[in-house]
Structure 1
Amino acid sequence: GIWILSPNQSHLTFQTSKLDKAEDKTPRSRKSGSAKSVHPDPHTTCRENQYLINSRCCDKCQPGEKLVNDCTEFTSTECLPCKKGEFLDTWNIERHCHQHKYCDPNQGLQVQREGTSETDTTCTCDEGLHCTSDACESCIQHTLCPPGLGVKQVATGVSDTICHPCPAGFFSNVSSASEKCHPWTRCETKGLVELQAGTNKTDAVCGFQDRIRALVVIPITMVVLLAVLLVSAYIRKVTKKPENKVLQPKAVSQDPVEDLEVLPVPLHPIAPVQETLHGCQPVTQEDGKESRISVQERV
């Protein structure tokens, strides 16, 4: 067609040529909505959610359905719904649906959301566990932050616990997958004094002023008492005499007469013993010795 200026030059008019009218009468390609088949022009691609086959653009199957037959010039794409326990979650040309995921309880898994024909089953881990991968096919226990470390990020069903050291002024005295570092107790806010400073594993110890003296005096007193007891026990052990070695004093005889030896009585008759005088005292001759007369007796 061409544009023509009117004689008064007030406006332009557009006239269509015979060639243009002839082109309008040529049949157009059948819309994909009726037969789902389109002859693509050279160097062109099919529309979204379509696929090219046998020089035709056929519609893909919608989510939840699988492909049975491709479209033709007179028929559209043939699709069938997925069976129970199967799904397809995208526009597709799949011949088979996918099986729903199985949440194995032996792996610590449980169903978070049941699957449909368009969505897969979603699994999650039991309490205290998290998935080992994005697919969540197995679970492991959450990491416990030991004393001195606090939880920076609590574990989820798909991520583990993140721990960090307790900074100055904070502590953690438990192994936990949820406890954060706690600040030390400020004794002055309670009208108390700090008896012992806190660490990254222990809280500050508070108490009264008198208790400070007690904490100093009591240990010293106990040490002194213990030393006294030990010294006393040692002295008692050294000075103690054995009972079996105690000497008994001999009985002093009041009679100055010498102890006489008791001789056994002989069985045979004893001959008469001669007696002599020695200093006006009788002297008995011992048996078995010869009788001798002193010089004085012989005189």
Structure 2
Amino acid sequence: MDFKFIALLILIGSFMGMTVAQASCDPETQYEKDGQCCLMCKPGTSMSTEDCKNPQCQPCLDNHYQDKYTTKNKCLQQPYCDRNKNFEAQVPKSKTERSICKCKVGFHCSSEECITCVEHTVCQPGYRAKVIGNNSQDTECEQCPDGTFNNNASWYAQCRKWTECEKGYQVEEKGTHTTDNTCAGTQRGHIIVISILSAVFMVTVVILVLVYRAGCIKQRTKNYYEPQMCEEDITAHKETTYNNQMTPEENEDELSHELSSEGFTDKGNQVMQERGKEEIVSRQESQLESQFESQEDSQSMDQFYKQV
């Protein structure tokens, strides 16, 4: 009896010791072997030589990964992202985590396993994208709300508000779900524009007339540009030039010819000559008076422009 009891105690103690030894190992980084806690290889590597206390670990090969501590001698292979199935181009892959194949922009996974990618749903004109598609979800479309429109077809389409006509304009054609408001100027606005343009035109004409008249007066008083004189000045200038060309000598010849044509006696001859001389003198005096008056007018106009 005593022997059996002692053997039972020894068996129970051994079992309890093994349990304690197993419980002391870290399940994430260690493993138990022959009652010992042995080390594992860290993520991104595989175990080439098994050694409880000092295992030999090697890095994973390209396109392979290991995301946990391991005792395996090979890493896991990365998934292949086929561009012919509308996946994005592959980027340098990590050796510590599994790569995820992503669909190209405008495409989403056809299933949960994401074996291939399919194109997003396109929202037609008059609709918008209620939910914009991404790598794992398709686009969801809905009709544009009242007062908005969309005239494009795309998987990311959005609706825009109708244009509000500015002051002086009114809605000529109301917008729809696919078209914007069309604005047109009111009749009152057209009248205002025409009135403004007419006023500007009249002011311009008045200014041109005043400038033209001022130029004529300036030419008349100072005689700066004789070839460009006004019509009335040209006529007056011709008359003055003709009178100036009639010299006293020519007048005397004309008078002598008139006297000789009439015939005269000794007494008559003296009378006609005196009469001719008087006419010559009177013509010379009238020419001098006209020249003097012209000079006075010129001086008075010069004083007027100086005051202006």
TM-score by length of 2: 0.47
- The structure that is helix-richer by fraction is 2
TM-score by length of 1: 0.49
